[in-house]
Amino acid sequence: MNTKKLHISTIGCQMNVYDANQIAGVLAPLGYSLTQDIDTADMVVVNTCTIREKAEQKAFSALGRLAKIKLANPSLIVAVGGCVAQQEGQAIVKRMPHVDLVFGTHAIFRLPEMVRRIESTRCRIVDVRLSDTIENDTVVVGPLDTGQISAFVTIMRGCDNYCTYCVVPHVRGREASRHPDRIVQEIRMLVGQGIREVTLLGQNVNSYGNKEALCSFAELLARVNEIEGLGRIRFTTSHPKDLSEALIQAFGSLEKLCHHIHLPVQSGDDLILKRMNRRYTRRDYLKKVQRLRTVCPGISITSDFIVGFPGETDRQFQATLDLIKTVGYDGLFAFMYSDRPLAPATAFSNKISDAVKKERLQTLLDVQRQITEKRHQKMVGKVQTVLVEGPSRSIDTGQALATAPQTRWSGRSSSNHIIHFTAPDILLKKKQWLTGAFVDIMIEGAYAHSLWGRMLNEPNGEPSSKGDTIVAA
Say if residues 22 and 108 touch (Cβ distance below 8 Å). Answer: yes
Q: β-pairing, 32-34 with 4-10?
A: parallel
- The interface with ligand SAH within residues 45-64 (CB under 6 A) comprises 51-52
β-strand pairing of 4-10 with 43-48: parallel
Cα–Cα distance for residue pair 15/18, rounded to 1 Å: 5
Asked whether the beta carbons of 109 and 136 are under 8 A apart, the reply is yes
Closest Cα partner for 301 from 220, 199, 366, 375? 375
Between 166 and 205, how does the x/- string for binding to ligand F3S read (CB under 6 A)? -xx--xx---------------------------------
Residue 13 as a binder of ligand F3S (CB under 6 A): the answer is yes
Q: Are 50 and 87 in contact (CB under 8 A)?
A: yes
Residue 15 CB, nearest distance to ligand SAH (Å)?
9
The answer to whether 203 contacts ligand SF4 (rule: CB under 6 A) is yes
d(CA 157, CA 175) in angstroms, rounded, equals 6
> Hey, which residues between 246 and 285 contact ligand SAH (CB under 6 A)?
264, 266
Residue selected from 11, 99, 163, 190 as contacting ligand SF4 according to rule CB under 6 A: 163
* Dihedral pair phi/psi, residue 383, rounded to 5°: -100, 135
Q: CA 126, CA 85: separation in Å to the nearest integer?
A: 9
The answer to whether residue 162 forms part of the interface with ligand SF4 (CB under 6 A) is yes
- Residues of span 14-33 touching ligand F3S by CB under 6 A: 15-16
Question: Under the criterion CB under 6 A, does residue 166 sit at the interface with ligand SF4?
Answer: yes
* Residue 82 binds which of ligand F3S, ligand SF4, ligand SAH, none (CB < 5-8 A, kind-dependent): ligand F3S
Q: Which does 338 bind (CB under 5 to 8 A by kind): ligand SAH, ligand F3S, ligand SF4, none?
A: ligand SAH
Instruction: Give the footprint of ligand SAH on residues 450-469 (CB under 6 A).
Output: none
List the beta bridge partners of residue 455: 441
CB count in 10 Å sphere of residue 333 = 12
Question: Binding to ligand SAH by residue 242, rule CB under 6 A?
Answer: no
We find the least distance from the C-beta atom of residue 206 to ligand F3S, in angstroms, to be 17
φ, ψ for residue 441 (rounded to 5)? -120, 130
Q: CB of residue 239 vs ligand SF4: minimum separation in angstroms?
A: 5
Where do contacts with ligand SAH occur on this chain (CB under 6 A)? Answer: 51-52, 165-166, 168, 203-204, 237, 239, 264, 266, 304, 306, 335, 337-338, 340
